Amino acid sequence: MSSEGKTRALTIPGLRRMKEKGERIVALTAYDALFARLEDQAGVDLILVGDSVGMVYGGRADTLAVTVEQMVYHTACVRRGVERALLITDMPFLSVQGGFDEALRNCGRMLAEGGAQGVKIEGCAAVLETIRRLVECGIPVMGHLGLIPQSIHRLGGYGQRGRSAGEAAQLLEDAQRLEEAGCFSLVLEKLEPGLAARITGGLRIPTIGIGSGPDCDGQVLVNVDLLGLYEELQPAFVRRFAELAGPVREAVRDYATAVRLGGFPGPGEI
């Protein structure tokens, strides 16, 4: 049983029921078994193995270099830490655009080898038919609209999306098309909050917001942002629920001092 007393594993239909009942969905990223276990025990509903792993653990400036192999590895690590939460994994840059067979093989690996219960795919027009066919093949797909980091060079920056009437209309239409293609949920990243609310109100599937205001059906954050461990970027929408980078540095400094002064190991630490 998790420390929050939630015992039943969450399913994809269960996520939809949460929207119908007006229960807000708590989502968070994880990349390893250690944090995944802590998050699952804390009662997180959905754990996303984000390709943000390339930035927060890989030290890169964007997500584009992340590979299918790396996502399979991180997904399998997270799987070993999760009992209750729904486990969804990101399909990396260009892993589903090279033809349906390749997309099916890559997505299938996330479920069969990684143990994910679904995959997340960014964008709409270029992947819509692929998503429809993946869902027909039994692979649950979460969509992702707004600021889609794999298109960072096309978008030109990490600013808010959906501010112009034209872009807002396109995003509203894309959300409808993704629901109709069979997506079980949509991530809305850095959307103008009023637009995120309109999209959420117009869909039967739940939306999970990040930097898109309070009116999505759930919220997702990158775990090391929430914990104050990732200091490279500090988007305004991130609330740090802890400040752990300082205490980590302090503990390591204390250890180094103890080793250098001969204070570690001490009596009884052998």
- By CB under 6 A, is residue 148 in contact with ligand KIV? no
Q: Which of residues 58-97 bind ligand KIV (CB under 6 A)?
A: 90
- By CB under 6 A, is residue 212 in contact with ligand KIV? no
On the 0-12 / 13-18 / 19+ scale of CB atoms within 10 A, 6 is: middle
- By CB under 6 A, is residue 220 in contact with ligand KIV? yes
Nearer to ligand KIV, 90 or 192 (CB): 90
d(CA 248, CA 229): 9
The window from 46-54, 99-107, 167-175, 242-250 that contacts ligand KIV (CB under 6 A) reads 46-54
- By CB under 6 A, is residue 36 in contact with ligand KIV? no
d(CA 254, CA 184): 48
| Residue 189 bears catalytic tag | yes
| Nearest CA-CA partner of 46 in 11, 91, 6 | 11
**What residues contact residue 265 under an 8 Å CB cut-off, 6+ apart?**
none
**What residues contact residue 227 under an 8 Å CB cut-off, 6+ apart?**
240, 241, 242, 244
- By CB under 6 A, is residue 41 in contact with ligand KIV? no
- By CB under 6 A, is residue 54 in contact with ligand KIV? no
- By CB under 6 A, is residue 51 in contact with ligand KIV? yes
DSSP result, 56-111? HTT--SSSTT--HHHHHHHHHHHHTT-SSSEEEEEPPTTSSSS-HHHHHHHHHHHH
d(CA 41, CA 34): 11
- By CB under 6 A, is residue 223 in contact with ligand KIV? no
- List the one residue from 28, 31, 50, 145 that touches ligand KIV (CB under 6 A): 50
- By CB under 6 A, is residue 116 in contact with ligand KIV? no
Nearer to ligand KIV, 130 or 219 (CB): 219
Question: Rg of the chain's alpha carbons, rounded to an integer?
Answer: 20
Nearer to ligand KIV, 69 or 136 (CB): 69
Tokens linked to 183: 């997506």
- By CB under 6 A, is residue 210 in contact with ligand KIV? yes
Catalytic residues: 189
What does the binding site for ligand KIV look like in residue numbers (CB under 6 A)? 29, 48, 50-52, 90, 187, 189, 210, 220, 222
